[in-house]
Structure 1
């Protein structure tokens, strides 16, 4: 079955009307490493994000278009929802939000729905006059016949909220089937496109934007102000609409922890402030409370990371070890969500180091970058 490159749905009518009125335009790109620019020779010049921004600036004037890079490597849509306030809404009003997580979301349908739906519902509250566009990038799992799992789940959300989508993976698959492209030549690791692959992605997006923003086609009237924030019933009740992240200093108790940074240490998948709390001994314990469906933490995991244990609402402690082969290379943020509730409420969490570590680790450290809530 051939898969369409575009699903037009409600289109980009609000963005189009603002552009036609000559108003300033703010465009945010939320996603993983591919949106951030991984694989390109220069992520801020040769990535699909940068080339799309270049097209919009050329079309509407560079002085009118503000571009926000909210791509973070290795992150899924649930963490994307938690990052929105700090990485997108804090920059000011936006008019168009691109969302790309089809590669990084896993095989848990409910979790993918939570993240993608949470992003949409959060955007409808914080930026009710902005348009949203889903983007599906390629990887082996997204180049299978039919509609690949992750794209199908994201399309459930897109259809429910009438959000347009641009399926880069479908475009790549069509080019492969027509013997016009070799995926290995476009992405050496079969995930992150090189300059040629990013240019192909950007070409797909330009084709969509040229149609969606065609001035010769009439624009539909935007919803009345009172209707802009109206939302249908959620697909997944425990979605990340109210997800957020906070500095670990906001915890109720941080005994045995000290503020630190990663200055001078290897870092990947994070362009933002690395201020965090580091456990000084095995006696350290950090306790915090949040309101919602579930709580979580973002760890800075790296060469000296050990295991930790957590307790929810005074329950038994459970040990977790997140050390993997990437930890041997550099520090990176890893979000860890604790088990959720059947209904939202106040959640009390305690996290502490165990003093134990994977044999490959050079220590048994615990570094907490953010506190999460959903």
Structure 2
């Protein structure tokens, strides 16, 4: 394990050294390059690197009821539990732990107003997975523009609370009905599409669970009824699909959704 982790640290130090000779006026460019390199590094390797640097491998997740796991038969069938169990098979991550902050019914507005991300200050996570609570924004008729502003504020707060953490933003799962419009004149799918564009425009790391989940059930000819507990929440099978999408992302070095120029 030491040989693998030593190689990861050496590569990390070399990437930092390449930035030493730039002037302070280039600091924003340097920061974008550094963040791009972190994003392109597979997330499981980032966790391994943290272990070598003496940090406990911790993933903090924050979001709504679909992060909490509503609809699953138990904690062991939530997407974060399934993901963590799979990641523990990677060298050096046997002691990986996760901390779940899923708040049923919460919108981005409520998350922001009640300071729900403040808990991250004490946890010092290596990675934060932020599920954007769009199901509740849609239901509560929060405009897409306000959702974007709230997401930005929440991400900035996360960066303040846990400055060393890598933040991975995800959309929620599809609902049984995604095209019906709310009082703002927007559909749930509109929320996912428009906030996804906004997130990528800022160069933040993003996994579109909504689209990939939809693609996978269509490819397997599986009906939504078989993967959903109710109109909104996945069942055990649905959460297993969600976990698999994230597992593939964590193990991949081809981050098509991340580091937009």
- Which one has a larger percent helix, Structure 1 or Structure 2? 2
Which of 110, 125, 139 is the aligned partner of 2:160? 125
Q: 1:185 to 1:46 in 2, by over 3 A?
A: same
Q: Return the TM-score normalized by structure 2.
A: 0.68
Matches within 5 A, 1:256-267: none
The answer to whether the Cα contact below 8 Å between 1:112 and 1:153 also exists between their aligned partners in 2 is no
**How big is the shift at 1:125?**
2.2
Q: 1:78 to 1:156 in 2, by over 3 A?
A: farther
What SS is found at the alignment partner of 2:213? helix
Deviations 1:327-357 (A, max 9, x none): xxxxxxxxxxxxxxxxxxxxxxxxxxxxxxx
| Counterpart in the other structure of 1:208 | 249
Cα distance between partner residues in 2 of 1:212 and 1:48: 21
Which of 207, 211, 232 is the aligned partner of 1:191? 232
**How big is the shift at 1:78?**
2.3
Q: 1:18 to 1:178 in 2, by over 3 A?
A: closer
Which of 122, 136, 140 is the aligned partner of 1:104? 136
Q: 1:160 to 1:114 in 2, by over 3 A?
A: same
Give every structure 1 segment of 4 or more consecutive aligned residues whose post-TM-superposition deviation is greater than 6 Å. Answer: none
| Counterpart in the other structure of 1:296 | none
Q: 1:88 to 1:129 in 2, by over 3 A?
A: closer
| Counterpart in the other structure of 1:54 | 85
Matches within 5 A, 1:67-78: 67-78=98-109
Which of 13, 16, 20 is the aligned partner of 2:49? 20
Q: Return the TM-score normalized by structure 1.
A: 0.49
Alignment of 1:79 onto 2:120: no
What SS is found at the alignment partner of 1:105? helix
Deviations 1:261-286 (A, max 9, x none): xxxxxxxxxxxxxxxxxxxxxxxxxx
**How big is the shift at 1:19?**
1.9
**How big is the shift at 1:157?**
3.4
**How big is the shift at 1:141?**
4.9
The answer to whether the Cα contact below 8 Å between 1:143 and 1:170 also exists between their aligned partners in 2 is no
**How big is the shift at 1:39?**
0.8
The answer to whether the Cα contact below 8 Å between 2:148 and 2:198 also exists between their aligned partners in 1 is yes
**How big is the shift at 1:76?**
1.1
What SS is found at the alignment partner of 2:81? helix
Show structure 2 runs of 5+ residues with no match. Answer: 1-34, 181-186
**How big is the shift at 1:153?**
3.1
Q: 1:29 to 1:167 in 2, by over 3 A?
A: same
The answer to whether the Cα contact below 8 Å between 2:61 and 2:101 also exists between their aligned partners in 1 is yes
| Counterpart in the other structure of 2:216 | 175
Backbone CA RMSD of aligned residues: 2.9
What SS is found at the alignment partner of 2:115? helix
**How big is the shift at 1:133?**
1.2
**Which stretch shows the higher mean deviation, 52-61 or 10-19?**
10-19
Alignment of 1:162 onto 2:194: no
Cα distance between partner residues in 2 of 1:157 and 1:128: 22
Alignment of 1:115 onto 2:150: yes
| Counterpart in the other structure of 1:32 | 64
- Which one has a larger percent strand, Structure 1 or Structure 2? 1
Cα distance between partner residues in 2 of 1:38 and 1:141: 18
The answer to whether the Cα contact below 8 Å between 2:135 and 2:188 also exists between their aligned partners in 1 is no
